[in-house]
């Protein structure tokens, strides 16, 4: 079990909130409430952008520092580089969904939302198994509390 108030719990909660936003968005698209869907997509896009920005500015540099201190890596594609590429891919897919909704294409939007949900699940699982434990394991309680505080300041906590 992940301790409440931990970095890992905070980040896992953010992934869960993103998933909840996707569920609400999908419901709107299925109901052909495309104006509502567009607004929900904008909320998802904003949450994802803030989450990604915060993760890339706070968490990934910390991971890279911890990983570099543990071993000297000769890998050209670090886990955080892959995560950044995936973040960019998620952003492109969200933009594509926005275009589909703007054209009123609910059916293709639903297919793209399914793809987005799958990619987000796989991405979140990789972070939860690779990035989060390494960072959390290297932090003192004081450092972890400070990081959670910084994360809370940069990422929305509610839908």
pLDDT confidence band for 9 (50 / 70 / 90): confident
Phi-psi region of 158 (alpha: psi -120 to 50; beta: other; left: phi over 0): beta
- pLDDT for 57 equals 87
pLDDT band, residue 75 (cuts 50/70/90): low
* Distance of alpha carbon 133 from alpha carbon 16, whole angstroms: 18
Question: Residue 137: which CATH number?
Answer: 1.20.120.520
Q: Please, which pLDDT band fits residue 68 given cuts at 50, 70 and 90?
A: confident
Query: Where in the sequence is the domain holding 119, given as residue range(s)?
Result: 7-153
For 32, 36, 42, 48, 58, the CA distances from 29, given in Å and listed in that order, are 5, 8, 14, 19, 34
pLDDT at 152: 77
Range in 34-43, 50-59, 73-82 the model is least confident about? 73-82
Q: Write out pLDDT tens, residues 105-123.
A: 999 999 999 999 999 999 9
pTM of the model: 0.83
* Domain membership flag for residue 2: no
Cα–Cα distance measured from residue 16 to residue 39, given in angstroms and rounded to the nearest whole number: 19
Confirm whether 114 is domain-assigned. Answer: yes
Give the chain's domain count: 1
Q: Is residue 158 part of a domain?
A: no
**Residue range 126-150, pLDDT digits in tens:** 998 988 888 888 888 888 888 788 7
Q: Is residue 117 part of a domain?
A: yes
Quick check: 124 pLDDT over 60? yes
Contacts of 6 (CB under 8 A, 6+ apart): 136, 144, 148
90 lies in a domain? yes
pLDDT band of 158, cuts 50, 70, 90: very low
- Residue 20 domain flag: yes
1 in any annotated domain: no
- As given in the structure block, the two tokens for residue 75 are 């890998």
């Amino acid at each position: 079990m992940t301790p409440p108030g931990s970095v890992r719990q905070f980040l896992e909660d953010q992934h869960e909130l993103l998933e909840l936003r996707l569920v609400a968005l999908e419901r709107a698209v299925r109901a052909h409430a495309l104006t509502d869907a567009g607004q929900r997509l904008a909320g998802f896009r904003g949450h994802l952008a803030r989450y990604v920005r915060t993760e890339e500015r706070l968490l990934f540099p910390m991971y890279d520092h911890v990983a570099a201190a543990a071993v000297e890596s000769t890998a050209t594609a670090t886990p955080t580089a892959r995560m950044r590429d995936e973040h960019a891919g998620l952003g492109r897919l969200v933009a594509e969904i926005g275009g589909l909704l703007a054209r009123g294409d609910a059916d293709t939007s639903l297919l793209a939302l399914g793809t987005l949900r799958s990619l987000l699940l796989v991405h979140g699982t990789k972070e939860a198994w690779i990035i989060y434990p390494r960072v959390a394991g290297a932090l003192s309680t004081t450092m972890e509390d400070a990081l959670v505080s910084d994360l809370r300041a940069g990422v929305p906590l509610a839908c």
